[in-house]
Amino acid sequence: MKRTKKYSEACEILTFPHRTQDEIYSELNRLGWFWDSKKREWLRDDTPAKEATQLIRIRVWAATDKVDQAADLFIETAVDNGLRLIEKSSPYVCRPPNQKDSRVYLTFEDVTDNS
């Protein structure tokens, strides 16, 4: 494994058996640590976690002439699997050099009964 500053500091904070860098990073995240890339250090935040969102958000990115069709495909599949479409954005054209691509944002709610 490459001994980056992020990895070296992770190993100083946590003695954790791991085979990959992602394993130790995931464990640090689970314990409330996160890597601040601007400060180039691991920071701990003990703020209690908020309730997880009940929404599912998807960004569809495709060629401008295909993005609506691709988004509709995701919508059809999601609805068939128990999700309700809440919002579909208008296409947003990407900035250069990707100006031939566009993005559509979809927001769904899970309406299946999980009880």
pLDDT in tens, 28-42: 999 999 999 999 999
Q: pTM here?
A: 0.66
Q: Which pair of tokens denotes residue 43?
A: 């920071």
Q: Domain limits at 85?
A: 55-110
Shared domain for 105 and 59, answered yes or no, is: yes
Per-residue model confidence as pLDDT tens digits over 63-85 = 999 999 999 999 999 999 999 99
Shared domain for 60 and 106, answered yes or no, is: yes
DSSP letters for 47-111: PPPPPPPSEEEEEEEEETTTHHHHHHHHHHHHHHTTEEEEEEPPPEEPPTT-TTEEEEEEEEEE-
User: What one-letter code names the amino acid at 70?
Assistant: A
Q: For residue 63, is it within any domain?
A: yes
